Amino acid sequence: MCSPSPSSSPLTARLRRVGTLALLVSLLGCKSASVGTSLRIEVPEADRDADVFVDGHYVGQVGALGQEPVGPVMLAPGVHRVEVRKPGRFPVQRTIRVEAAAPAETVLEAELLEDPA
C-alpha cells in the first residue's frame, strides 16, 4: 500500500493555497476585480431604475452599478448576455464578447423603448 505523503510539506501547502485561490476566483465569477472589463450601462435619466441581468443573474439597477453596495460589475473573458429590463418598456438584450486584453471598461448604450401594449 502507498503511504500518504506528509501534508505539511511546502509543496502541499503551496498547492492548497493555489487551489483556494482558484476556488475563490471561480466563486466570484463576473464580480472578480482582477480580470476582465468593468460594465457601464448608459440609459436616459428616466430609465436609471431599470434592472440589469448578466448571464441570467440579477446584478442591480442601472443607477446603482458602480456605487455601494452594488459596486462595479466585472465581466471575465468570454461571452456574456446582458439584459436591461423595466416594466412598460421593451427589454434591451446584448451579447458581449470580452477578450483577455479587453479595455478597462465596456459601455453598453440601452434605449428602453416604451411598450404600447
| The pLDDT value given to residue 92 | 96
State the cell numbers at 74: 466585472
Instruction: Report if residue 1 sits inside a domain.
Output: no
| The pLDDT value given to residue 9 | 59
| The pLDDT value given to residue 115 | 87
Give CA–CA dist 76/99, Å, rounded.
Answer: 8
| The pLDDT value given to residue 28 | 47
Range of 37's domain?
30-109
Q: Domain holding 101: CATH number?
A: 2.60.40
pTM value?
A: 0.67
CB-side exposure of 27: number of CA atoms within 13 Å? 6
Instruction: Report if residue 19 sits inside a domain.
Output: no
Domain count within the chain: 1
Which residues of the chain, if any, have pLDDT below 50?
Answer: 1-7, 15, 18-33
| The pLDDT value given to residue 16 | 53
Instruction: Report if residue 101 sits inside a domain.
Output: yes
